[in-house]
């Protein structure tokens, strides 16, 4: 067996172990765990063939080139900040604004800031951690999850705007739409169980004997988990495409959009946002390119939604409102981007 194939198999097995360990822990019952295990096993069998092995490798490359550099530093930083008292001071500072706008405590402002800087799925992970520690109530965690789930400037401007579309202005417009829509979704979801007002709790740093070790380990496991899901969804969409299941959807989308690249990008983006954006970029930039890209980034794709679900379920946070929030974010992103496309592109 060639050396590169051996390394690939090692990476793949390691990914599967990380995914199964994290996902099965979040399952509510044995039926869900069985379905997931069968899905992973099927993906593993398909990936063992020569054809699908390349798709898995492409998914890993996509994660390593685009997601890993933008996520790992922030996973580490958030883990370190959780052990510092500065977070409590920031929470007290922003508490009046978050109460008025989002009906949440000040700690959510810190989560939103980190989510905007770092991207999916750190916001969901932080909310899960805070809910588990008793710093967020049930209704407050749902409100926070609705808008603290965003992509990062590094991804939107750097990866999408500069690399994929070769237009930094496109990336800046994408980020602007993203932030505006997130704030609007947060304001809208402030009415979720409006009478359950937040009880401001004092943030206390997490105690640990070895901050550096715990922070690095937490960052590594989290970013590998994200990479594993991206790889599986990348493979899954390629399987659906190769057997022709996606063709009817692409055909319908093409009838509406009258653009093959846009149609493929939209359909693939529903499953995995990065792959969809990559296909969309092949057609260059036209009037609908920014709105479609913004909608994809606002939703995040099923891959991002599953990543967030795994963290939210761990803390027993309702996922139905979160899914509704992601759909609202996609629609708002599309509408706002239409205006941006008219004015700036």
Q: What is the pLDDT along the chain (345 residues), one digit of tens a residue?
A: 454 444 444 455 445 445 544 544 554 444 455 455 445 545 555 545 566 677 777 778 877 777 777 677 777 877 777 666 666 677 778 888 898 999 998 889 888 988 888 788 888 988 998 899 888 889 999 999 999 999 888 889 988 998 899 999 999 999 999 999 999 999 999 999 888 887 766 666 566 667 777 778 877 877 887 788 788 788 778 777 877 788 889 999 999 999 999 999 999 999 888 889 989 999 889 999 999 999 999 999 888 898 899 889 889 999 999 999 999 999 999 999 999 998 876
Sign of CA dihedral 74, 269, 315, 36: negative
pLDDT for the residue 175: 94
What is the model's pTM?
0.79
How far, in whole angstroms, is CA 13 from its chain's centroid? 23
Answer yes or no: are the C-beta atoms of 136 and 177 closer than 8 Å: no
Question: Which residue from 27, 40, 20 is spatially nearest to 313, judged by alpha carbons?
Answer: 27
- Asked if omega into 121 is within 30° of 0 (cis), the reply is yes
Q: CB pairs under 8 A, 24+ apart, for 164-173? A: 164/277, 164/278, 164/281, 165/281, 165/284, 165/285, 165/289, 165/293, 167/285, 169/344, 169/345, 170/285, 170/289, 170/290, 170/293, 170/345, 173/290, 173/337, 173/340, 173/341, 173/344, 173/345
For 41, the domain range is: 3-344
List, in sequence order, the alpha helices (H) in 133-246. Answer: 138-147, 153, 168-188, 211-242
Give the DSSP H or E segment for 52: helix 50-62
Give the DSSP H or E segment for 128: helix 122-132
The crossing angle, in degrees rounded to 10, of helices 50-62 and 273-281 is 90
pLDDT for the residue 206: 61
pLDDT for the residue 103: 92
Q: How many of the other CB atoms lie within 10 Å of CB of 339?
A: 13
Domain count, the chain: 1
């Amino acid at each position: 067996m060639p050396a590169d194939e051996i390394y690939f198999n090692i990476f793949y097995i390691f990914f599967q172990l990380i995914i199964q360990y994290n996902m099965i822990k979040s399952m509510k019952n044995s039926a869900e765990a069985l379905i997931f295990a069968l899905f992973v096993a099927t993906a593993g069998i398909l990936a063992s063939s020569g054809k699908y092995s390349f798709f898995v490798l492409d998914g890993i490359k996509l994660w390593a080139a685009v997601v890993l550099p933008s996520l790992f530093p922030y996973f580490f930083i958030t883990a370190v900040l959780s052990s510092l008292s500065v977070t409590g001071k920031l929470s007290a500072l922003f508490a009046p604004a978050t109460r008025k706008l989002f009906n949440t405590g000040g700690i959510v402002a810190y989560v939103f800031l980190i989510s905007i800087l770092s991207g999916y799925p750190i916001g969901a992970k932080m909310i899960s951690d805070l809910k588990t520690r008793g710093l967020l109530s049930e209704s407050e965690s749902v409100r926070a999850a609705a808008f603290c789930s965003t992509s990062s400037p590094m991804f939107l401007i750097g990866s999408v705007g500069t690399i994929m579309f070769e237009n930094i202005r496109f990336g800046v417009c994408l980020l602007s739409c993203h932030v505006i829509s997130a704030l609007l979704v947060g304001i809208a979801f402030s009415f979720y169980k409006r009478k359950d007002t937040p009880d401001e709790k004092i943030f206390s740093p997490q105690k640990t004997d070895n901050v550096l070790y715990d922070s690095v380990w937490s960052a590594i496991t989290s970013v590998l988990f994200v990479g594993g899901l991206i790889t599986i969804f990348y493979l899954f969409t390629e399987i659906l495409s190769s057997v022709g299941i996606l063709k009817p959807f692409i055909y319908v989308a093409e009838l509406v959009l009258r653009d093959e690249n846009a149609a493929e990008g939209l359909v693939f983006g529903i499953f995995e946002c990065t792959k969809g954006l990559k296909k969309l970029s092949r057609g260059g930039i036209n009037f609908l390119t920014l709105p479609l890209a913004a909608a994809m980034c606002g939703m995040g794709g099923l891959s991002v939604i599953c990543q967030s679900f795994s963290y939210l379920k761990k803390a027993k946070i309702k996922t139905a409102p979160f899914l509704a929030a992601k759909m609202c974010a996609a629609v708002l992103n599309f509408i706002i981007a239409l205006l941006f496309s008219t004015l700036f592109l």
